[in-house]
Amino acid sequence: MTTISLEAMAASVPDGALLALPPDNSLPSVALARALIRRGVKNLRLLGVPVSGFATDILIGAGCVVEVQTSAVSLGEAGFAPRFTAALKAGRITVRDATCPAIHTMLQAAEKGVPFMPLRGLIGSDILAHRPDWIVQQNPFGPPGDVIVLLPALSPDVAVFHAAMADSFGNVWLGRRRECATLAHAAQRALVTVERVVEGNFLEDERLASGTINATYISAIAIAERGAQPVALLDEYGFDAAYVSEYARMAKTDAGFAEWMAREVFAQAAAA
């Protein structure tokens, strides 16, 4: 199994891609988000699976994003996501609001290779009123008047997440964060950063197999130590609340964000 460099992985993401990212509690690759900013990617359409956090906010702040589809954007205890909010206010991004299970369901439809899946709830919500791509139809198996929402399959161009490790065969392990597996199954390509590559085959170990994503679904792997930071990686390292709080403070203004980005995205790479 050969890995590629983080910068090569970032270079493989075309401008305008529909790029799916898990939120801060489920293994985003913050390392790849930083590399995408350095590469100067443009016009990304981001998908929050099912919500969005730190990585989304920095990509928006750096001007890499034209559209966000998500169920919420938040920095958790550090509060609202400042660059997302500023970009929405200024009209620099289009926001397509969803609700968490709708995003899971659209990905599951893509995973199964079916054109749509139904979901309960939603009727009477203004979310539905602003989603012309979501359809309300009579339940064909139900009594007359039983209406249900149909959601189209959604297959992101690129899925990006961070896993604990990869093996000799290109399988990756991330434990119970199975939303990343659904995402890898549904996406055209999955780009995965890992802490380390280990010898062997996870699929031959019953204790690891259920937390593994088969190499079939993985397009490329790059090693990025501490690649989820400042967010947590399973039981390997925790959420760096002080770092995210400082970010939230600095990113309140354009100038503060620019200073943060110079220090934390560009200077780091120059030093590496």
Please state the separation of Cα 129 from the chain's center in Å: 25
How many residues at the interface with another protein, by CB under 8 A?
Answer: 53
User: Nearest approach, Cβ of 107 to another protein (angstroms)?
Assistant: 9
Taking the least distance from each CB to another protein, the nearer of 140 and 145 is: 145
By beta-carbon proximity to another protein, the closer residue of 101 and 256 is 101
| Distance of alpha carbon 221 from alpha carbon 18, whole angstroms | 19
Per rule CB under 8 A, is residue 29 in the interface with another protein?
no
- End-to-end CA distance of the chain: give it in Å, rounded: 24
Give least dist CB 262 to another protein, A.
Answer: 27
**With binding defined as CB under 8 A, does residue 176 bind another protein?**
yes
Residue 26 is a binding residue for another protein (CB under 8 A):
yes
Query: In the complex with another protein, which residue's Cβ is closer, 35 or 179?
Result: 179
Q: How far is the CB of 56 from another protein (least distance, A)?
A: 11
Edge-first strand order for the sheet with 147-152 is 116-119, 147-152, 135-138
CB of 24 or CB of 41, closer to another protein: 24
CA 212 to chain centre: 18
User: Pick from 1, 147, 267, 269: which binds another protein (CB under 8 A)?
Assistant: 147
Among 4, 11, 66, 127, binds another protein (CB under 8 A): 127
Instruction: Report if residue 209 touches another protein, rule: CB under 8 A.
Output: no
Strands 147-152 and 116-119: antiparallel
CB of 75 to another protein, least distance (A): 9
Q: How far is the CB of 108 from another protein (least distance, A)?
A: 7
Residue 40 near another protein by CB under 8 A = no
CB of 268 to another protein, least distance (A): 27
Position 245 contacts another protein (CB under 8 A): no
Positions 86 through 125 that interact with another protein (CB under 8 A): 88-89, 95, 97-102, 104-105, 108, 119-125
Chain-centroid distance, C-alpha 119: 22
175, 178, 153: which is closest to 18 by C-alpha? 153
Residues 145, 255, 271, 272: which binds another protein (CB under 8 A)?
A: 145
Applying CB under 8 A, the residues found at the interface with another protein are 25-26, 50-51, 70-74, 76-77, 80-81, 84-85, 88-89, 95, 97-102, 104-105, 108, 119-128, 130, 145-148, 176-182, 210, 232, 234-235
